């Protein structure tokens, strides 16, 4: 470790750079946010932000995760990372007052730079947040969004203060019967959710369930598995009405995806969908038009929130009877309401209702003539010194800026710290290179009172070593997982054996859900006495996510036909396990059967003077499709994982849990 650390910190010098790329191994812990905060502090101290080859770069778990978070699929945000409306914010002014308190301007003190852009706000007289939310409302409600009705602000859904709408909390609400209906699009929580057996049981409480996918999934067929596996609920006893809608795959539809670098890249349709399958957009469009009709004719609770929606996405040809993704993309980009001309930058958005934009960050994806830059494919790198920006290949938010906070890559005169790999450079009073993160002059060139600091999205204008607002506190601290083989935290001496919310539990801030149904607790916590080994889940090259697509592909099944459990040589010898044996891995929540793989890459560790063995299981398998698990429950690794999450995000702790292992039978039997 020391050698790696010493090597990496050498990147904190002019002419050098270091990047940190992370994925689920960093985030899927009860302390995942603390991990990322540690990365951020390190990169700030080493000046690895805004430079070529620097940054903290997320390797997303699947295609278009970036696009989904940009567009509203995080429950606590609106498109473009605007705050979700709280139930206490009954007026637009209430909402903007909250936005100002959280993101308003703070004047920096004692720095050479004397001005913070605080871009979320920027101008007290006409704040950017108002322009963005009003333009969003105009895109959604059209002529029904006027100054007289606060541009339809009252139509927006509002979250209850303190209420959690994350994945974990949704399934708790399901188990309690709070949620009566559920739509699942391109997900398979019966395999992919934490404590998967508990989540399958929670689905029994639904009156109706709609699953939109390419194939039958474990979620759509949850009622079959329960009856076959444990006898607790026969299919006839489950009253949930299930609808399975066939969806088009990525080659059968067009539209954009956004990667971790924020590049919005357009995919063309190669063939028409097979059979009755439809693109997700077409299904959503048809459903929404029918809902508008029903609410208009029959009324309901606050029907105006639906009937007043501006919904006009049909064109001609294939899109005469279904929504045209090109029209949706233009609405996301934004346009002048009166003329229909595309908005070419978020600086053109207005707070008076004259512009509409579904997502301010995507303003500029369209040219003024209406052409879509996400469809452009110039393969030539035209950046300074050809550092690999490829700014003509598709389009990147915001305003095609390829490296955010790039003004941190230059000195006070605008000269790059790394002259061999300049991201931007101030030459003859102009910025060259990437689109600068704010076009203001270099700090030494600017007049007093206009020396803008580089971190334009922070209200102070600087990076945050001190990070207020996190559940655990402003600085990262080491915590043990919810289930740990150690009796105490080696960094603090705090016991790991206490219960949730007691002084004995080493991370009192982490989210421990109460997944309970009919009095049965489905999220038991295991002890190192009964479960002495550390388990973890991961993915395999040959399979993808919860397996709907790859476990229905014969070639991939041939490459990886069955679920596996990997364990080290020492542990295998003690347990009498050899590669190919069928083993049972168990936790306090359930067990799965898998094929044993004995490998030296799972080494016995010495932690706090104690031998610690690890066991690894993939989570792709289930009980539908061409390839199913060995045990009747499908052998998903998530049968083993706990229903707990990060203190800030509630992302489940898939990566660490306590387990046991034993041989069920010899290989080949």
Residue 488 has what DSSP assignment?
Answer: B
Cα distances (angstroms) measured from residue 358 to each of 139, 159, 349: 6, 20, 11
- pLDDT, residue 488, reads 86
Q: Which two structure tokens, joined as six digits, stand for 295?
A: 């609410």
Quick one: pLDDT band at residue 232, thresholds 50, 70, 90?
low
Euclidean distance between CA atoms 42 and 36, whole angstroms: 10
Peptide bond into 329 cis (omega under 30): no
Q: Is residue 529 part of a domain?
A: yes
pLDDT digits (tens, 9 = 90+) for 633-667: 989 999 999 999 998 999 999 999 999 999 999 87
- pLDDT, residue 72, reads 85
Domain termination site, one of 61, 80, 103: 61
Euclidean distance between CA atoms 381 and 88, whole angstroms: 49
Euclidean distance between CA atoms 669 and 663, whole angstroms: 12
pLDDT digits (tens, 9 = 90+) for 382-414: 999 999 999 999 999 999 999 999 999 999 999
Euclidean distance between CA atoms 225 and 287, whole angstroms: 29
- pLDDT, residue 276, reads 95
Contacts of 373 (CB under 8 A, 6+ apart): 364, 365, 366, 367, 394, 395, 400
Q: What's the number of CA atoms in the CB half-sphere (13 Å) around residue 60?
A: 14
Residue position matching structure tokens 């398979």: 188
> Considering the entire predicted model, what is its pTM?
0.94
Quick one: pLDDT band at residue 669, thresholds 50, 70, 90?
low
Residue 582's SS3 state is: strand
pLDDT digits (tens, 9 = 90+) for 14-38: 999 999 999 999 999 999 999 999 9
pLDDT digits (tens, 9 = 90+) for 613-624: 999 999 999 999
Are 360 and 332 contacting, i.e. CB atoms less than 8 angstroms apart? no
Q: Which two structure tokens, joined as six digits, stand for 252?
A: 């059968």
The total of other beta-carbon atoms located within 10 Å of residue 637's CB is: 29
Are 625 and 561 contacting, i.e. CB atoms less than 8 angstroms apart? no
Domain termination site, one of 61, 92, 113: 61
Q: Which two structure tokens, joined as six digits, stand for 495?
A: 């016991």
Domain termination site, one of 61, 82, 106: 61
Q: Is residue 31 part of a domain?
A: yes
Euclidean distance between CA atoms 380 and 376, whole angstroms: 12
> For residue 27, what is the enclosing H or E element?
helix 24-27
Q: What is the dihedral of CA 67, 68, 72, 76, to 10 degrees?
A: -120
- pLDDT, residue 503, reads 44
Mean pLDDT for the stretch of residues 348-377? 97
Quick one: pLDDT band at residue 160, thresholds 50, 70, 90?
confident
Q: Which two structure tokens, joined as six digits, stand for 357?
A: 């934009």
Q: Is residue 327 part of a domain?
A: no
Q: Which residues of 567-591 are buried (b: 16+ CB within 10 A; e: fewer)?
A: bbeebbeebebeeebbbbbbbbbbb
What CATH number did the domain enclosing 653 receive?
2.40.40.20
Euclidean distance between CA atoms 214 and 550, whole angstroms: 11
Whether the pLDDT of residue 250 is over 50: the answer is: yes
Mean pLDDT of the chain: 93
Cα distances (angstroms) measured from residue 281 to each of 193, 277, 489, 525: 25, 12, 49, 41
Q: Is residue 375 part of a domain?
A: no
Mean pLDDT for the stretch of residues 503-515? 75
- pLDDT, residue 168, reads 94
- pLDDT, residue 504, reads 47
- pLDDT, residue 583, reads 97
Q: For the chain, what is the domain count?
A: 2
Q: Is residue 306 part of a domain?
A: no
Q: Is residue 324 part of a domain?
A: no
Q: What are phi and psi of 660, to 5 degrees?
A: -135, 165
Mean pLDDT for the stretch of residues 170-195? 95
**Largest CA-CA distance found in the chain, in angstroms, rounded:** 81
Residue position matching structure tokens 């704040």: 127
Euclidean distance between CA atoms 656 and 268, whole angstroms: 40
Q: Is residue 142 part of a domain?
A: no
Q: Which domain holds residue 657?
A: 488-663
- pLDDT, residue 498, reads 58
Euclidean distance between CA atoms 165 and 314, whole angstroms: 32
Q: Is residue 48 part of a domain?
A: yes
Mean pLDDT for the stretch of residues 404-427? 96
pLDDT digits (tens, 9 = 90+) for 268-299: 999 999 999 999 999 999 999 999 999 999 99
pLDDT digits (tens, 9 = 90+) for 101-118: 988 888 888 889 898 999
Euclidean distance between CA atoms 59 and 69, whole angstroms: 14
Neighbouring-strand partners of residue 526:
none
Query: Among residues 167, 75, 102, 161, which one has the least CA distance to residue 469?
Result: 102
Contacts of 323 (CB under 8 A, 6+ apart): 281, 282, 284, 285, 313, 314
């Amino acid at each position: 470790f020391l050698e790696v650390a010493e090597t990496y910190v050498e990147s904190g010098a002019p002419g050098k750079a270091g990047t940190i790329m992370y994925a689920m191994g960093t985030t899927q812990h009860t302390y995942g946010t603390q991990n990322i905060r540690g990365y951020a502090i390190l990169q700030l101290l080493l000046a690895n932000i805004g430079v070529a080859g620097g940054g903290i770069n997320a390797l997303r778990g699947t295609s278009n995760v970036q696009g989904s978070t940009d567009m509203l699929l995080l429950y606590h945000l609106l498109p473009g990372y605007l705050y979700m409306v709280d139930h206490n914010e009954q007026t637009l002014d209430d909402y903007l007052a909250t936005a100002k308190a959280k993101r308003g301007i703070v004047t920096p003190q004692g720095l050479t730079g004397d001005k913070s852009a605080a871009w979320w706000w920027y101008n007290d007289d006409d704040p950017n947040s108002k322009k963005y939310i009003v333009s969003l409302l105009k895109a959604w409600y059209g002529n029904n969004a006027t100054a007289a009705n606060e541009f339809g602000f009252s139509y927006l859904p509002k979250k209850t203060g303190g209420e959690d709408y994350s994945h974990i909390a949704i399934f708790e609400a399901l188990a309690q019967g709070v949620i009566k209906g559920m739509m699942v699009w391109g997900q398979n929580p019966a395999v992919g959710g934490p404590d998967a057996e508990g989540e399958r049981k929670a689905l029994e409480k639904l009156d109706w369930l709609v699953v939109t996918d390419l194939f039958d999934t474990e979620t759509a067929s949850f009622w079959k598995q329960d009856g076959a596996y444990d006898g607790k609920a026969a299919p006839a006893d489950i009253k949930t009405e299930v609808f399975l809608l066939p969806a088009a795959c990525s080659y059968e539809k067009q539209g954009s995806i956004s990667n971790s670098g924020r590049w919005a890249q357009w995919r063309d349709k190669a063939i028409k969908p097979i059979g009755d399958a439809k693109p997700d957009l077409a299904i959503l469009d048809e459903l929404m038009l029918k809902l508008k009709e029903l609410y208009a004719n029959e009324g309901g609770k606050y029907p105006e929130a639906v009937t007043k929606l501006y919904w006009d996405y049909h064109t001609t040809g294939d899109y005469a009877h279904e929504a045209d993704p090109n029209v949706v993309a233009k609405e996301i980009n934004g346009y002048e309401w009166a003329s229909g001309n595309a908005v070419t930058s978020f600086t053109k958005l207005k707070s008076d209702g004259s512009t509409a934009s579904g997502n301010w960050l995507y303003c500029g994806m369209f040219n003024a003539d209406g052409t879509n830059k996400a469809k452009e494919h110039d393969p030539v790198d035209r950046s300074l010194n050809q550092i690999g920006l490829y700014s003509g290949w598709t389009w990147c938010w915001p305003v095609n800026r390829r490296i955010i906070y790039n003004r941190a890559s230059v000195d006070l005169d605008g000269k790059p710290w790394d002259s061999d790999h300049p991201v931007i450079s101030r030459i003859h009073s102009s910025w060259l290179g990437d689109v600068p993160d704010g076009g203001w002059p270099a700090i030494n060139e600017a007049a007093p009172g206009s020396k803008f600091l580089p971190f334009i999205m922070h209200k102070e204008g600087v990076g945050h070593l001190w990070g207020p607002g996190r559940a655990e506190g402003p600085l990262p601290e080491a915590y043990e997982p919810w289930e740990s083989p150690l009796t105490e935290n080696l960094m603090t001496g705090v016991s790991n054996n206490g219960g949730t919310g007691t002084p004995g539990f080493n991370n009192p801030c982490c989210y421990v859900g109460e997944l309970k149904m009919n009095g049965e607790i489905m999220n038991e916590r295991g002890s190192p006495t009964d479960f002495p080994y550390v388990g973890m889940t991961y993915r395999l090259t040959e399979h993808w996510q919860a397996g709907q697509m790859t476990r229905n592909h014969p070639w991939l099944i041939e490459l990886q036909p069955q679920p596996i459990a990997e364990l080290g040589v020492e542990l295998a010898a003690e347990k009498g396990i050899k590669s190919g044996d069928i083993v049972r891995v168990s936790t306090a929540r359930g067990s799965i059967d898998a094929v044993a793989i004995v490998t030296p890459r799972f080494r016995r560790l010495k932690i706090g003077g104690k031998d610690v063995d690890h066991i690894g299981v993939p989570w792709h398998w289930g009980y539908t499709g061409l390839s199913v698990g060995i045990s009747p429950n499908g052998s998903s690794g998530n049968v083993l994982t706990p229903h707990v999450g990060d203190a800030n995000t509630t992302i489940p702790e898939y990566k660490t849990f306590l387990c046991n292992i034993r041989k069920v039978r010899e290989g080949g039997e």
